[in-house]
Amino acid sequence: MANKLQNQKPSFSAFILFFFPILLVSIWGHIALLLGVKKAVESEDYTIAQSIGQSKTFFLKYLGVILIIILFIMGIMIFGGVSITMVLVILSKVNKILASLICLALAITALVFLVFFLLRWSLAATVCVLENIKPIAALKRSFSLVTDYVHPVVGTYCLTILMYVACLLPIIIVGAFLGIGNDIEQSNRIGIIYSVFINIVLVPFWGTTTVVLYKKLKEALETYVCA
């Protein structure tokens, strides 16, 4: 399978026949994981089959959240790209340094804008499933949960990223000693297989982290509101 993926040329038919079904199964699996983690965290009895079966209730809402976020990212990127292009066309002939500075400022502004919203929407999919609410409501709810606790949330995400990096270090070190990196096709194949195995552990860990983070932020928000 890794060989086929390595040699596969990007095409619409490949997306429909392979990547699109994998995407749908991944979404279904992530919803089931969130439901299972919620039951486990709350010490409730459940079965894997129940979590998988209940996922259909949340599928379209979850998909809606993901699509809105993707469209938002694309919109910001397109707007930023068009703005930078217009600045280059208009000002590059007048003053190249000024044009470059304005383009840099626009790029930084777009990046800050993206980070600002994506960080606050980072729990939207989890909220959508755990509270069974519509996509727009899930985005607003995630925004309200994260806004007052940005630093702890960023710290949690950074620690998770460090765990991913730590898990990648063994394959990088082994590859450097064995000279695997000299063969790009072989290194890519090994990388795909290795990433599958580490994600068997890391994806459930990430799902558990997001559920616990959501519950902690919800408790903190409710305490603040009551006070």
What is the model's pLDDT at position 222? 80
Q: Under DSSP, is residue 32 helix (H, G, I), strand (E, B) or coil?
A: helix
What is the model's pLDDT at position 34? 92
Round to whole Å and give the CA distance between 47 and 208: 16
What is the model's pLDDT at position 61? 94
Task: Please work out, in degrees rounded to the nearest 5, the angle formed at the alpha carbon of residue 168 by the alpha carbons of 162 and 171.
Answer: 160
Burial class of residue 1 in the structure, from the number of CB atoms within 10 Å of its CB (0-12 exposed, 13-18 middle, 19+ buried) = exposed
Print pLDDT tens along the chain (227 aa): 555 555 556 566 666 677 778 888 889 999 999 999 998 888 888 788 888 888 889 999 999 999 999 999 999 999 988 988 888 888 777 777 888 888 889 999 999 999 999 999 999 999 999 999 999 999 999 999 999 899 999 999 999 999 888 888 888 787 777 666 566 677 777 777 888 888 888 888 888 999 999 999 998 888 765 55
What is the model's pLDDT at position 12? 63
The pair of structure tokens assigned to 197 is: 């195995």
Domains in the chain: boundaries: 2-226
* pTM of the complete model: 0.81
Round to whole Å and give the CA distance between 87 and 98: 10
